[in-house]
Amino acid sequence: MNKRPSVLLVANWDSGVGYAWWLMESYWAALAKHYSATHDIIMAYPSISTLPDVIAQAPLEAVPFDFRATALPGTLRQLRFLRSRRVRCVYFSDRRSIDWRYLLFRIAGVRAILTHDHSPGRRSRAAGAKVLLKRLGHRIPFCSVDALIAATEFVHRRHLEVSCAPPSRCFVAPNGLPERPPAAALDLVDTFGIPANRLVMVTTGRANRYKGIDFAIRVMAHIVTERRRQDIHYLFCGDGPDLQEFNALAHQLKVENHVTFAGRRDDIREILRACDFAIHPSHGEVGYSLSILEYMEAGLAVVVPDNDSVCEATEHDHSGLVYPDGDTQKAAESIIRLLADAGLRERLGRQAVADITERYSLRLAHRRLIEAAERTYPAEQPTQD
pLDDT per position as a tens digit, 216-242? 999 999 999 999 999 999 999 999 999
List Cβ neighbours of 47 (8 Å cut-off, separation of 6 or more): 14, 15, 64, 66
Q: What is the signed CA dihedral for 50, 56, 62, 64, rounded to 10 degrees?
A: 0
> What is the architecture of the domain spanning 188-359?
3-Layer(aba) Sandwich (3.40)
Listed residue (121, 153, 89, 178) closest to 375, CA to CA: 89
pLDDT at 1 over 60: no
pLDDT of res. 20:
52
The mean pLDDT value for 295-302 works out to 98
The percentage of the chain sitting over the pLDDT mark of 70, rounded to a whole number, equals 98
Q: Please list, in sequence order, all residues whose beta carbon lies within 8 angstroms of the beta carbon of residue 171, skipping any fewer than 6 positions away.
A: 147, 148, 149, 150, 156, 368, 371, 372, 375
The Cα 76–Cα 151 span in angstroms is: 31
Distances from the Cα of 177 to the Cα of 148, 191, 240, 291, 378, angstroms? 22, 26, 24, 10, 26
Give phi and psi for 277, each to the nearest 5.
-165, 175
Instruction: Spell out the alpha helix ranges (H) of 253-382.
Output: 268-274, 290-297, 328-340, 342-359, 362-376
Residue 146 has pLDDT above 80, yes or no: yes
With the C-alpha atoms ordered 313, 316, 320, 322, is the resulting torsion angle positive or negative? positive
pLDDT at 312 over 80: yes
pLDDT for 257-282, tens place per residue? 999 999 999 999 999 999 999 999 99
Average the pLDDT over 19-31 and give the result. 87
For range 118-137, the mean pLDDT: 88
**Strand blocks (E) in 118-178:** 147-150, 170-172
Local confidence band at 123 (pLDDT 50, 70, 90 cut-offs): confident
Q: What are residue 261's DSSP bridge partners?
A: 236
User: Could you tell me the residue ranges of all domains in the chain?
Assistant: 6-176+362-376, 188-359
- Indicate if the pLDDT at residue 384 is higher than 70: no
Mean pLDDT across the stretch 113-124? 93
Nearest to 162 by CA among 98, 251, 70: 98
Q: CA–CA separation, 159 vs 70, rounded Å?
A: 23
Beta strands 199-204 and 277-279, pairing class: parallel
The whole-chain average pLDDT of the chain stands at: 94
6-176+362-376 matches 188-359 in fold: yes
Q: How confident is the model at residue 18 (pLDDT cuts 50, 70, 90)?
A: low
CB 29 within 8 A of CB 54: yes
Q: Using CA atoms, how far apart are residues 293 and 263, in angstroms rounded to an integer?
A: 20
Superfamily the domain 6-176+362-376 falls into: Glycogen Phosphorylase B; (3.40.50.2000)
pLDDT top residue among 79 and 70: 79
Confidence of residue 332 (pLDDT cuts 50, 70, 90): very high
pLDDT of residue 368: 97
Residue 385: band (very low, low, confident or very high) from pLDDT cuts 50, 70, 90: low
Q: What is the pLDDT at residue 383?
A: 52
Query: Residue 17: which pLDDT band, with cuts at 50, 70 and 90?
Result: confident
